[in-house]
Amino acid sequence: MIYLNEEMQEKLNIYIKQYNQKYTKCLIRGLEIPIDGRPEELVRQMFLHFLIKESGLFPDKINIKVESNNHDIEIYKKQKNEKFKPYQNPLIIVEVKREDVNLQNYYNQIQRYLINSGCNIGILYNYHEIIIFIRKSNQFEIYYPENLRKIKELILQADSSIDDDLLEFENAQNGNSQSFVYLINKYAKYTNHTVAFKLKHQLSAIDGYLFNVKENKIEYKMCGKYSQKYQTFDSQDFEKLIYIIY
C-alpha cells in the first residue's frame, strides 16, 4: 500500500525554511504550502500532480482552476480556437478531502455543486478513494474507479458544448450569416461577451455586444460607446465574424 507521505516526498518539490518547517508550492497557484497542518491541501496537490505531470493532458487539452467558485479544483477543456473563447461551465469539479474522511458524507455537497454550476461530472477524492458522479437530468450515476488513470479517460470522453459550436463559428468566420445569427443569439445578447465582426463596404471591424435579431435586422451596441442608441444592419450586409470572447 502506498501512503500519501511517501508519494508526496517522491513527487512534490519539498523544501525547508526557517524553524525547520517543510513547504511545497501549489502546482497551479505557485503559493507556498506548509506541509504540516494542511492535510487536505496535500491531497489536492497530489491530484494536481497527476493532472499536470502524469496525465499528458495539461496544458494542451485542459485548463485547471484552483479554489474557483468555492470549488477545490475545476477542470476545463482547452478551447481549440483562440478567437472563439466564450464562457464555459467546468467540465469537471473536484472536491478533495483529507485521508481519513469518509467521502460518502459529501455526496450532497458535490451533487449540489454540479447542479448549481451546470457541470455534469464531479469527483470526490481523499487520496485512497475516488468517487465519480455523472449527472444526467439531475439524476446521478456513481462510479468507483480504482486509480486516477480513469480520470484521463473520463476527460477525453467528456463532451463540451463549446466544441459543438466551433463549426458554427468557423462557418461565420467564412461569411455564413445564419451561423453568425445562431452564435449571437446564444452568446451575445448580454454584456458578458464581446463580438468582433465586419460588414461589407466598411473598412474597419466592429466590436459589439447586446445583440438583438429582428427578422433580417440585427441590432447591437458598440463597445466603448456610451450612447444608449442601438446600431442596426441588415443580415445580408454581414461579411465575416472575427472573434467571440468572454
User: Is residue 228 over pLDDT 80?
Assistant: no
User: Is residue 187 over pLDDT 90?
Assistant: yes
Average of per-residue pLDDT across 115-142: 95
Determine whether domain 39-159 maps to CATH 3.40.50.12780.
no
Confidence at residue 36, expressed as pLDDT on a 0 to 100 scale: 84
Average of per-residue pLDDT across 141-145: 96
The share of the chain scoring above pLDDT 90, in percent, equals 82
E strand intervals along 17-176: 22-25, 32-34, 62-68, 71-77, 84-85, 92-96, 121-125, 130-136, 139-143
Give 206's DSSP letter.
E
pLDDT-derived band at 160 (thresholds 50, 70, 90) equals: low
Average of per-residue pLDDT across 108-117: 96
Confidence at residue 1, expressed as pLDDT on a 0 to 100 scale: 45
CB 169, CB 84: distance < 8 Å: yes
Residue with cell 459529501: 106
Q: What is the CB neighbour count within 10 angstroms for residue 226?
A: 6
User: Is residue 78 over pLDDT 60?
Assistant: yes
Average of per-residue pLDDT across 164-177: 95
User: Is residue 163 over pLDDT 90?
Assistant: no
pLDDT-derived band at 229 (thresholds 50, 70, 90) equals: confident
Lowest mean pLDDT among 34-38, 71-75, 91-95: 34-38
User: Is residue 56 over pLDDT 60?
Assistant: yes
Confidence at residue 130, expressed as pLDDT on a 0 to 100 scale: 98
The share of the chain scoring above pLDDT 70, in percent, equals 96
183 vs 189: CA distance, rounded Å:
10
User: 3-class DSSP state for residue 166?
Assistant: helix
111 vs 8: CA distance, rounded Å:
29
pLDDT-derived band at 168 (thresholds 50, 70, 90) equals: very high
Domain ranges of the chain: 39-159, 162-245
User: Is residue 226 over pLDDT 70?
Assistant: no
CATH number of 162-245: 2.30.30
pLDDT-derived band at 131 (thresholds 50, 70, 90) equals: very high
User: Is residue 152 over pLDDT 90?
Assistant: yes
pLDDT 10s digits, 31-49: 999 988 889 999 999 999 9
Lowest mean pLDDT among 36-45, 194-203, 207-216: 36-45
User: Is residue 225 over pLDDT 70?
Assistant: no
User: 3-class DSSP state for residue 16?
Assistant: strand
